[in-house]
Amino acid sequence: MAIEQQPDGRWKVDIEPIKGKRFRKIFKTKGEAQRFESTCRASCIDAPSWSPRLRDRRRLLELLERWALLHGNALSDYAGRKLITQRMIERLGNPVAQSFTAVNFAEYRAKRLAGGISRKTVNNELSYLRALFNCLIQYSEIDYPNPIALVKPLKLQEVELAYLDHEQVTQLFTTLASMQHAHVELISTICLATGCRWGEAEGLVPSRVKGGGVHFINTKSKRRRSIPISSELEARILQHFKQHGLFTNCRNSFDDAVRKAGLVLPPGQKAHVLRHTFASHFMANGGNILSLQKILGHSSLAMTMRYAHLAPGHMQDVISFGPTKHFRHIFDTSNGVGKEA
């Protein structure tokens, strides 16, 4: 029923322009009733307060599936990223997404840290969850603000980048030569010679070793890069492929070699130590920082600058322009510390 005449001659309006919003009123004339009906319908269309949208009751796990369908499955690290995000949401209790707040995440983060989880791990979780909300907002899948948009990641203590000196390199490769795995020594040689990541070396195929260089395609930065190698190493790699076939996963064998060689490395840097060793020796031998950026495939020079302190003459202005030469009676220990000249 919309407009209906009553037994007493008056006109009753009974309309529901949108579900859950009903209007009823009685007027003396039909014209007044019609104007009221038109006003109600127009107001529900034009004024959001008259036509509130139904609250989004979907939970975070459901939004994760929408993210996976719309965007996530196109990412190279999709499977691992989705699994990390899913486990995080389960630890959060899979709340209704629109009710989730920055305080909820801050409390979750505090519990994780108290449980011994590293700052880097919780920063990664924050990054993944924030990206999930941003992606769904971009696709108009959700119409509310990102609840953790203003949550800042925790500051991290810069870790030491371990690298090997000449003696340690010799010690490691002597051990690698004795390992039973057919590929581990050559993959390690490629990493040390080019500064590539372990996975990039493992993924090489014969067609990408040619013209005096190795050509990396499936890189972390998604950019192709080519690194020159000696003709001897090129011939050795191609001969190895003919004799043993393509490289297979042997990172565990490398880890065993590091242990057998008696090398102590920071956590998480075993396979990466060869990359750090290349970069460190490259800079120590006078290499250019911009060239190193291209060799390593860093998208940002800030990443490469971690090796700048190894360049000859780095920060030598401390000695040239610092107070040392003006206060030799303090810094010169030949006459006794603290004695005046």
For the domain that residue 201 is a member of, what is the CATH number?
1.10.443.10
Domain of residue 286: give its range: 166-310
Same domain, 202 and 277: yes
Query: Has residue 153 been placed in a domain?
Result: no
pLDDT for res 48: 55
Query: Has residue 152 been placed in a domain?
Result: no
pLDDT for res 149: 94
pLDDT for res 248: 93
Query: Has residue 330 been placed in a domain?
Result: yes
pLDDT for res 11: 87
Query: Has residue 156 been placed in a domain?
Result: no
Q: What is the domain count for the chain? A: 4
Same domain, 302 and 322: no
Same domain, 321 and 301: no
Active site amino acids: 197, 220, 272, 275, 298, 307
Q: How far apart (Å, rounded) are the C-alpha atoms in residues 193 and 47?
A: 67
Residues 72 and 37 sit within 8 Å (Cβ to Cβ): no
Radius of gyration of the chain from Cα atoms? Answer: 33
Same domain, 277 and 215: yes
Same domain, 258 and 335: no
Same domain, 180 and 251: yes
Q: With a cut of 70, list the residues of the chain below it in pLDDT.
A: 1, 20, 45-53, 158-160, 309-341
Query: Has residue 150 been placed in a domain?
Result: no
Same domain, 114 and 200: no
Same domain, 266 and 331: no
Same domain, 175 and 274: yes
Q: How far apart (Å, rounded) are the C-alpha atoms in residues 17 and 335?
A: 97
Same domain, 249 and 173: yes
